[in-house]
Amino acid sequence: MAWDALRPDPDNVRLRRSLVAAIDRMWARALTEGAVRPDLTSGDFMLLLARVLRPLPGVPSGVDDPERSLAIALDGLRPGLTTPLPGRGPAADVLGGRSEVAQD
């Protein structure tokens, strides 16, 4: 509910658009350099980050180090011994970019 209220906020839209654009540029460069697997979109990357970085409820602090989950997930972005991915990669604006902007 808090997110529903925040989502259309103009400052939020502007910052999100700027963040998405920056990540999208970084991802394009990483693809060009062969640093990441070529079957992933920047939208895949953003959704994975969003999932891994969300706090996990019900786990006592001290026994969970989210940095480890993050490091494992990031290793999954590397090219090399990868398994084929299901479906199609989402566009860069999957977490809010162009669609909100169009509603401005």
Distance, in Å, from the CA atom of 56 to the CA atom of 53, rounded to the nearest integer, reads: 9
Looking at 17-25, 26-34, 63-71, which segment touches a second copy (CB under 8 A)? 63-71
Considering only residues 22 through 61, tell me which ones interact with a second copy, judged by CB under 8 A. Answer: 40, 43-44, 47-48, 50-52, 54, 56-59
**In this chain, which of 26, 34, 82, 101 binds a second copy, going by CB under 8 A?**
82
64 binds a second copy (CB under 8 A): yes
In sequence order, what DSSP letters do the residues of 10-68 get, joined into one string? HHHHHHHHHHHHHHHHHHHHHHHTT-S-TT--HHHHHHHHHHHHSPPTTS-BTTB-HHH
Nearest distance in Å: CB 30, a second copy:
14
Distance, in Å, from the CA atom of 71 to the CA atom of 65, rounded to the nearest integer, reads: 10
Cβ closer to a second copy: 21 or 70? 70
